[in-house]
Structure 1
Amino acid sequence: MKIDQSQPVLAKNKIRASRNKTMTITPDEGAELIKETVTLAKKASTEDFAGKIIYQDIFSCTDFLPSAFIDLLIVDPPYNLNKQFSETKFSKTTSEKYEQWLESWLHKILHCLKPESSIYVCCDWQSSHSVQTVLQKYFIVRNRITWEREKGRGAAANWKNCAEDIWFCTMSNNYYFDVESVKINKRVIAPYRDQSGAPKDWQETDAGNFRLTYPSNLWTDISIPFWSMAENTDHPTQKPEKLIAKLILASSKQNDFVFDPFVGSGTTCVTAKKLGRRFSGVEIEALYCQLAMKRLRQAENDQEIQGYHDGCFWERNSMQEQKKSKKRTINSEIPVLFHE
């Protein structure tokens, strides 16, 4: 994969609409934020970088990382596409060369994984086969999650591309998975009732009827960050906190170590912090390190994750019920939720 770091393109002084919540960084703020990152130049312990962003190229720091410290590895690498980031441009290449690039950094991280570690790798449909080919060389591939990425315009001569994949792998058959933590409240369209007329395995509310269901590998409840959301940044491939929260809750415990070798705007680290996990990750671009550090600062006082309340996930467009659920929790009233 060809990498060019010569053409920064993100505008520094964009004019935003009054209701635009996209995070910005002033020059003075950026200078302070970058000081909070770390760079590894010798063998490190987790205390040296836990809770921080490693401002460095992934290839130059992996040898300094300790062995067997990662409980959960979440990877959102550059896809095999032509893509301009802030100061880095990735150029599409052949599937064979892309697989070689994937292996070039993946094999350097292997020593950092625990025998019970879980691994998630994001990709699009064009690179999904390449990612699977590489992953099955090193891990047990357990599933492929497909999530609806409903954003962008349609295509005139093709089907609109509005889905991405996440490959779920483990190091061994001894791994952690908490299905109870990732159940989703879905609307009940044709609800059943028992003989007395009471709801059968679902909850009746003023905002609609909901059932707490087991998660599948097809996710249609994710909202892509956009200008009116506080988590939004100018990163071109930012993942939603809700998406990453599902991975973290399902495959890690409190205080487990979550690691992301391509931090970007910091979604994995920010979500891990909000959910009480230890975390760190690597990012090569200064602007994205600054965005990640600013988001981590904000997470000190704001642990909310859009679409996740009362220990379960909610479908899109169910905000009214989410707010009622949150209010009930504040009032120490435990809502009645039914399981499918």
Structure 2
Amino acid sequence: MKDRSPHNRTLDLTEAEQQQFSQRLQTLHQTVKPDAILNSIIWQDVFKALDYLPEKFVDLLIIDPPYNLTKNFNGNAFHRRKNLAYTDWLEQWISQVQQLLKPTASVYICSDWLTSTLIYPVIAQYFIIRNRITWEREKGRGAQRNWKNNSEDIWFCTVSNNYFFDVEAVKIKRQVMAPYRTQEGQPKDWQDTPNSPNKYRLTHPSNLWTDITIPFWSMPENTDHPTQKPEKLIAKLILASSQPGDVVLDPFLGSGTTAVVAKKLGRQYVGIEQDLTYCCLAEKRLSLAELNPAIQGYANGVFWERNTRIPSP
């Protein structure tokens, strides 16, 4: 374990914990039925694991693959490739993943701005592309000879025109700066909030997200994974495009955010990750989720703007 400041809440893993949580992992050697892998993490290279997964069992696919960047994942380096080599790599596993999806399934694929242009033509061959979400990633150093890279994309796709989308579940609660009342004195498109002088309204979610906070050292969800996604971000995808009990698959699970959020929101999950440490971190986070199902920035059934002090219900 690393030596950290007393106020640093980054999640660590002891050797004893890694040994304990590794016992919960699966490695596949033959084709399995859905019941054998639901709510479990598969410790395996994604190309090997996909060969053994059952067809048409997934309701929601969330993918956060290595972007076409050179990045070190706990000693496993992913090296930037020529564009054609990267798109070939994408197509190898996307063609396999497609077979796992129900006809009503939805798909979200994360990318940075440059990788996004490589992903689009590949996924367009397999899915119906519905939208491109761009979210503000307010973290990292500024550039001296370019604009600071401060956003990432998420491609929203479906398998068919028959899919689930719950817009009411992902509305954002925003503060009203100039609250307007009708002639009768009633709030116009906003509501009074008990125990708070502020006024709020629920707004429809757009494909531009500015309310996300990147995990950092003071947040209990934070790990040392270099590309960890915020729980709030994944919660939006899960609530919008799945129902309680649905199966959520993440074939590049990393430190487990998709599985953790699926569990907190009453969905079933399957995650695939090749790194043992990340698998065990995910299992530890799943255990902690049983004690505390809260998701930062999501409370009282709605999403709140970034840095909002959420009033008591």
Question: Which TM-score band (shorter chain)?
Answer: over 0.9
Matched residues in 2 for 1:180 and 1:56: separation? Answer: 37
Cα contact 1:145–1:168 (8 A) shared by 2: yes
Counterpart position of 1:151? 139
The aligned residue for residue 78 of structure 1 is: 66
Structure 1: how far apart are the matches of 2:18 and 2:311? 34
The whole-number CA distance in structure 2 between the counterparts of 1:136 and 1:207 is: 48
Percent sequence identity over aligned pairs: 56
Mapping of residues 164-175 of structure 1, within 5 Å: 164-175=152-163
Encode CA deviations 1:81-103: one digit per residue, 9 max, x unaligned.
01111021011112211111111
Match of 2:257? Answer: 267
Give the counterpart of 1:233 among 223, 230, 250: 223
Aligned 8 A contact 1:274 1:303 in 2: yes
Q: Which residue matches 2:120? A: 132
Q: Which amino acid aligns with 1:84?
A: N
3-state SS of 2:156 partner: strand
Count of residues in correspondence between the two structures: 311
Decide which of 222, 234, 248 is 1:244's aligned counterpart: 234
Aligned residue for 1:3? none
Structure 2 match to 1:57: 45
Structure 2: 5+ residue stretches without partners: none
Residues 120 and 168, structure 1, Cα contact 8 Å, conserved in 2? yes
Q: Give 2:216's aligned amino acid.
A: F
Contact 1:87 1:285 in 2 (8 A): no
Cα deviation for residue 15 of structure 1 reads 1.1
- Misfit runs of 4+, over 3 Å: none
What displacement does 1:309 show?
1.0
Please give the residue correspondences for 1:84-103 in structure 2 after superposition, counting only pairs within 5 Å.
84-103=72-91
Aligned partner of residue 29 in structure 1, secondary structure:
helix
1:22 aligned partner:
10
Q: What is the rounded CA distance, in whole Å, between the counterparts of 1:219 and 1:238 in structure 2?
A: 17
Distance 1:174 1:132, change over 3 A: same
Identify which of 2, 25, 43 aligns with 1:37: 25
Please state whether the residue corresponding to 2:114 is helix, strand or coil. coil
Shift of 1:172: 0.4
Name the SS of the counterpart of 2:125 in structure 1.
helix
Determine the structure 2 residue equivalent to 1:331: none
Provide TM-score, normalisation by structure 2: 0.97
Runs of at least 5 residues in structure 1 that lack an aligned partner in the other structure: 1-12, 329-340
Aligned letter for 2:32? A
Partner Cα separation in structure 2 for residue 21 and residue 52 of structure 1 = 25
- SS of the residue corresponding to residue 155 of structure 2 reads strand
CA change 1:90–1:207 in 2 (3 A) is farther
Instruction: Tell me the distance in 1 between the aligned counterparts of 2:288 and 2:42.
Output: 19
- Secondary structure class of the residue paired with 1:64: coil
Corresponding position: 1:292 with 2:292: no
Q: TM-score, normalised by structure 1?
A: 0.90
Equivalent in 263, 266, 270 of residue 276 of structure 1: 266
Structure 2 residue 246 is the aligned partner of structure 1 residue 256: yes
Residue 198 of structure 1, CA deviation: 3.5
